[in-house]
A and B are shown apart, each in its own frame.
Chain A
Amino acid sequence: MTGYGTDAATADGPVDPATLRALTRARRVTRDLADDLLTHLPDLGDIGTQRQLDTWVEQAADTLRALSDAIEERLLDVTRPQPTDDPRIHRSPTASLRRPWPPGASGGPDPDRS
């Protein structure tokens, strides 16, 4: 099972861990239900209605998969680091190497001078 950190944050603050857990469970369960649905082989005994039912079962499994994917997207959204307006905070891997220039100033070094 893919894990999602409980320290995820949105622009409005950290995401509630219980919400993350519930979304994670919903994502997994909906996927499992879709798989389970496709294991059934009902036989109605009437060709026309049987075809209708077979098509419906495939559609229902597709909907459950779409729900799982949508919840996955939601989880990615809420666990994705949010951009910040503070120019001193960067999310890139080299963020820790950057410092305000000169110290205490709001801007960085002038690229034309380097």
Chain B
Amino acid sequence: MMGLGDPGSTSALGGALRQQAITLTDLVVDLTEAAERARRGGRMDLSVRERELLSSTARQLDAVGAALQSFTATVLAGSARIRALADNAARSDLVIEGSVVVEARGPSRVDPVDRLRERERLQELLNRVSAAEGKELARIARELGRSGPALAALSERARLGS
């Protein structure tokens, strides 16, 4: 998947989600302080359920936001790594096409054995970059798969008043 996607857009969403989680947590703090004052004044605590729902939602947003930010950081680091590998490849008349190291077109003055060895070495390094990105992508998929149903349950609880 290297080179695809828009790390800026995923970073923006990840940051927004984590900020939203902080905002929701701030709301919980406000409600908790108000509830404590009310209790001291002999009044009922009227926001127990709302605080719990807000806290649970905040945790979900933060978890997915963190996964998106981690993915973005890995993609950006991978891009920098690939640029460095491309420079190395060029010295051996090799080029990086997607996730594969191939020989550049045309004749080459590089020794064929050295060129093959360098190609294999660069391919191995490139594979590590791909693997790191794949791992982060899988982490996002796991978080989404876990968090989606949790959020749906929170929606249902909020609407049912339970």
Measured CB to CB, the residues of A under 8 A from B are 10, 12-16, 18-19, 21-23, 25-26, 29-30, 33, 36-37, 40-46, 48-49, 52-53, 55-57, 59-60, 62-64, 66-67, 69-71, 73-74, 78
Assess whether B140 is in contact with A33, with CB atoms less than 8 Å apart.
no
- B148 cross-chain contacts in A, Cβ below 8 A: 52, 55-56, 59
Given contacts A46-B4, A66-B154, A67-B53, contact A37 B47 (CB under 8 A): no
Q: Which residue of B lies closest to A10 (CB)?
A: B44
**A interface footprint on B1-23 (CB within 8 Å = 1, 0 otherwise):** 10111100110110011001001
**A95, B64: Cα distance in complex, Å:** 55
CB contacts (< 8 Å) of A48 on chain B: these are 141
Q: Is the interface of B mostly helix, strand, loop or mixed?
A: helix
- Find out whether the CB atom of A22 lies under 8 angstroms from the CB atom of B27: yes
Which 7 A/B pairs are nearest by Cβ-Cβ distance?
A45-B5, A45-B4, A16-B38, A43-B6, A66-B158, A18-B34, A70-B158
Interface string of B73-103 (1 = CB under 8 A from A): 0000000000000000000000000000000
Nearest B residue to A26 via CB reads B27
Q: Which of B139-156 contact A (CB under 8 A)?
A: 140-141, 144-145, 147-148, 151-152, 154-156
- Write the residues of chain B forming the contact surface with A, with a CB cutoff of 8 angstroms: 1, 3-6, 9-10, 12-13, 16-17, 20, 23-24, 27, 30-31, 33-35, 37-38, 41-44, 46-47, 49-50, 53-54, 57, 60-61, 64, 68, 71, 137, 140-141, 144-145, 147-148, 151-152, 154-156, 158-159, 161
